[in-house]
Amino acid sequence: MPRLSLLDRFLPLWILLAMALGLALSKLWPQLGSALESASVGTISIPIALGLLVMMYPPLAKVRYDKARKLTTDKTLMKLTIILNWVAGPLLMFVLAWVFLADQPELRTGVIIVGLARCIAMVLVWSDLSCGDREATAVLVAINSIFQVFMFGILGWFYLQVLPSWLGLSTTSAEFSFWSIVGSVLVFLGIPLLAGVISRVAGEATKGRAWYEGRFLPAISPLALGGLLYTIVLLFALQGDEITARPLEVGQVALPLFLYFPIMFAAGLFASRAAKMSYARSASVAFTAAGNNFELAIAVAIGTFGASSGQALAGTIGPLIEVPVLVALVYAVRWAGPKLFPQDPTLPA
């Protein structure tokens, strides 16, 4: 596949191996899960946070921030991402949760929480692998982070209490910590974003743009894949016992998620194409619409309902389904790109 490195080309294989390694570690080292859970500050897991920060740094270091700033005036881009992420995404997850988990209130609530936590992390990796518009992705991630702070609690109240009561369905009482949401955004977006800006400014000022983009960025690019695989290993090691002990519940949660991610991706891709956006920008919009902030979803579920709850299990299953599905969508969009966007200059070379 053009422009994919050898490591990136076999990404599905590395992810499967990382999943297997995580499950093996959970069995060979039963205390590992407890050790990972204890290494936390508030609701933020330090080991997982390190993996996410390493993973996010290279894509954010690649962004040309002078160009990204201009995209904030693109009204079509702004409206489309807000509608997809904060109207369509949560509503679709609500519908799927009730269709497939109507008799499982804990799992249903956990799946709905996953739908409320919009992506501000892994989307940077998926967009980069698909040759999406880095600047557009950075802007969309920033918009999601702002909306996440102010809208997560409101939408949680609406989808867990208000809308179900209107429809005559059972409701769930939940209070989400505003500061845990702020902390998640500051840590998982603020730190790598600041590092990326400093790298770009300092690198171009001291060595020039040609050196920065031709030498420095290729040198740090493998860190994104390394951070991703490390995070996957930890997630499977942390929840390996739950996954193997509750296979039926895992399967029940997996089905609506398997539907959610490709549906949201297709909606974002075709809506962007209909708005006459380029391939690169459409890929960015699609991956931003499809992805979710699993760290926030897991932290909120554990903080609100407890680590052993069905809500926490559903939140954990979210990234276990999301990662392989979105990797498959990276390959799918690169294959379909020339057919959907013929002669588009932003297609992978």
Q: What CA–CA distance (Å, rounded) separates 67 from 210?
A: 17
Helix, strand or coil, per DSSP, at residue 227: helix
| pLDDT (mean) for 179-196 | 80
Q: DSSP strand E in the chain: where? A: 40-41, 44-45
Amino acid letter for position 263: I
Question: What average pLDDT does this structure show over 317-338?
Answer: 89
Those residues with Cβ within 8 angstroms of residue 291's Cβ, 6 or more apart along the chain or in another chain: 118, 119, 121, 122, 123, 126, 322, 326
* Residue 188 pLDDT grade (very low, low, confident, very high; cuts 50, 70, 90): confident
Q: What is the CATH number of domain 6-337?
A: 1.20.1530.20
Question: For position 278, what pLDDT does the model report?
Answer: 95
Rg of the chain in Å (alpha carbons): 19
pLDDT tens for 21-36 read 988 888 888 777 677 7
Average pLDDT, the chain: 85
d(CA 256, CA 271): 22
Cα separation of 234 and 23, whole Å? 9
pLDDT, tens digit (0-9, with 9 covering 90-100), for 41-83: 766 678 878 888 888 788 888 888 877 778 888 899 999 999 9
Give pairs for 332-335: CB < 8 Å, separation 24+: 333/130, 333/265, 333/269, 333/283, 333/286, 334/1, 334/4, 334/130, 334/131
What is the pLDDT averaged over residues 282-290?
95
Asked if 287 contacts 126 with a C-beta cutoff of 8 angstroms, the reply is yes
Task: Using alpha carbons, select from 85, 320, 49, 323 the residue that is nearest to residue 188.
Answer: 49
Q: Residue 14: pLDDT band by 50, 70, 90 thresholds?
A: confident
Q: Using H for helix, E for strand and C for coil, what is the string for 6-46?
A: HHHHCHHHHHHHHHHHHHHHHHHCCCHHHHHHHCEECCEEH
Percent of the chain with pLDDT over 70: 93
Q: How far is CA 41 from CA 1, 44, 180, 247, 270, in A?
A: 41, 5, 11, 30, 41
Cα separations in angstroms, 309 against 41, 313, 314: 20, 6, 9
Interatomic CA distance for residues 111 and 256, integer angstroms: 8
| Percentage, residues of the chain above pLDDT 90 | 41
Output the pLDDT for position 86. Answer: 95
What is the pLDDT, as a whole number, of residue 297? 81
Helix or strand run (H / E) with residue 95: helix 89-100
**Residue of higher predicted confidence among 143 and 35:** 143
* Contact yes or no for 67/135 (Cβ under 8 A): yes
Residues 202-219 have pLDDT tens digits of 999 999 999 998 999 889
**What is the reported pTM?**
0.82
Q: pLDDT value at position 23?
A: 85
d(CA 213, CA 94): 42
Give the residue from 142, 162, 146, 144 showing the smallest Cα distance to 154.
162
- pLDDT over 70 at 246, yes or no: yes
Could you tell me the two tokens for 120? 């501000």
2: pLDDT strictly greater than 60: no
Asked whether the predicted pLDDT for residue 3 surpasses 60, the reply is no
Residue 1: the pLDDT is 41
pLDDT at residue number 169? 92
Domain locations in the chain as residue ranges:
6-337
Q: Is the dihedral of CA 167, 168, 170, 173 positive or negative?
A: positive
